[in-house]
Amino acid sequence: MMTGTGEYPAKRKKLEVLNRAWFILAALWFSLLLLPFKGLKPALILFFVLSAVILFMQYIAGFVRVLTARLHALTGRFKAVSLSHTTSLTVRASFLAVLMVLPFLAQDYFLDVVVLTGIYIILALGLNVIVGFTGLLHLGFAASYAIGAYTYALLNTKAGLGFWYSLPVCAGLAALSGAVIALPALRLKGDYLAIVTLGFGEIVRLILNNWDTFTGGPNGISGIAVPYFFGITIGRLGLHYYITLMAVVLTYVVVKRVRRSKTGRAWIAIREDEVCAATMGVNTMRYKLYAFAFGSFWAGLAGALFAVKMQFVSPESFTFIESVLILCMVILGGLGSIPGVIVGAIILVMLPEVLREVQTYRMLALGAGLIIMMIFRPQGLLGGWGDERRETKDE
């Protein structure tokens, strides 16, 4: 009944060697790209460093695999203590502890980048619900992001409403915007849906750009107030860092829990086979609507955080390219994989900062990286099987 287990290790070995060859080739390409910008020596150095890192990582990976196998064998004997679970808990706790003290250790510049990363993680997690879970290509996600940002900006500057009161309104209005776009789009599939969502994104941006009396037009809205946070005084950036951290944790927990429920399963089922999902009792229209509203909700939250961070919003921040950037994070990390899209967001925000040294090079590297990804790992960095399986297993 099961597939033969004998041939499996041999197959994996072969795959590993093949993988290594491809990775070395990728390293070579990156180095060649560097050549015209920095000269021969740095290119060679980059190549050797990349190759060494790749080989080292694979070497380590082998060890880790053996080690985890042994650990599993060990825990199998003492069934009462589930080691893997406790380690993951301690890892999570210590990771969070590091994040908590980060503002006291890091420089302002770094903290600023981290806050931006947090905002994009929320956006990527939101879009992942629509594109990754439900399989609906959404090219106008920046519109919901903009609605969140402008809602806070307007509520704050025109009505004098504070951050914490505005936040639910921002997220709620963004969710509503998601539902509004979903209504006409629900009967469309694939390319047609993508075009409608793209149109929606542009409409929102154009309204913001042209409704001078209300949104301030291209000049945007400035002078947005900074929120208070239980009276903690650790500098504005630090304050914002903690608010963003809280929002990221909230998004992560909520999205993960919804994914592992009836709703999440219905979304994946729709992605896999819509007709079949309907014959299993899933109201596909309703759940697609939920996906749009739920995903856009987080865009609204991220928008409010963005407005607070910048204390200024303008239509420039919510262009089509912004939608594409968020989509890239989701695809890079792995469609449908929650840890994946987080990694994707971190890479795509951090990478341009890290590569600031080589200004002209960084966009090229980004493009090249994405192309290589699409060829050799179309399911994304952490996407595909492993993740889904783990998620169902450790419940």
Partner 1 sequence: MHILEVRDITKHFSGIKAVEDVSFRVKEGAVASIIGPNGAGKTTLFNCLTGLTKPTKGSIFLSGNNISGLAPHRIVGFGIARTFQNIRLFREMTVLENVLVSQHLRIRSGMVGAVIRGREFIREEREIRDRAFEYLELVGLEDAADLPSLNLPYGDQRRLEIARALATEPKILLLDEPTAGMNPQETLGIMEIIKRLQGLGKTVIFIEHDMRVVMGISEAIIVLDHGVKIAEGSPDSIKNDPLVIEAYIGRNIFA
Give yes or no for residue 107 binding partner 1 (CB under 8 A): no
Give yes or no for residue 112 binding partner 1 (CB under 8 A): no
Among 66, 280, 374, 375, binds partner 1 (CB under 8 A): 280
Alpha-carbon torsion 382, 384, 386, 389, what sign?
positive
Q: Which long-range contacts (CB under 8 A, 24 or more apart) does 256-265 make?
A: 256/338, 258/129, 258/294, 259/133, 259/338, 259/391, 260/391, 260/392, 260/395, 263/287, 263/290, 264/133
Q: Which is nearer to partner 1, 103 or 295 (CB)?
A: 295
Tokens found for residue 325? 């950037």
Give yes or no for residue 276 binding partner 1 (CB under 8 A): yes
Of 123, 67, 17, 26, the closest CA to residue 376 belongs to 26
Q: Which is nearer to partner 1, 93 or 253 (CB)?
A: 253
Give yes or no for residue 392 binding partner 1 (CB under 8 A): yes
Q: Which is nearer to partner 1, 104 or 385 (CB)?
A: 385
Give yes or no for residue 266 binding partner 1 (CB under 8 A): yes
Give yes or no for residue 5 binding partner 1 (CB under 8 A): no
Give yes or no for residue 273 binding partner 1 (CB under 8 A): yes
Give yes or no for residue 179 binding partner 1 (CB under 8 A): no
User: Contact letters (x/-) for partner 1, 60-99, by CB under 8 A?
Assistant: ----------------------------------------
Report the alpha-carbon angle 96-101-107, nearest 5.
125
Q: Which is nearer to partner 1, 255 or 348 (CB)?
A: 255
Interacting residues with partner 1 between 197 and 256 (CB under 8 A): 253-254
Total binding residues toward partner 1, as defined by CB under 8 A: 38
CB of 395 to partner 1, least distance (A): 8
Among 25, 74, 257, 354, binds partner 1 (CB under 8 A): 257
Give yes or no for residue 2 binding partner 1 (CB under 8 A): yes
Summarize as ranges the residues that interact with partner 1 (CB under 8 A): 1-3, 253-254, 257-258, 260-266, 268-269, 271-273, 275-284, 290, 294, 336, 385, 388-389, 392-393, 395
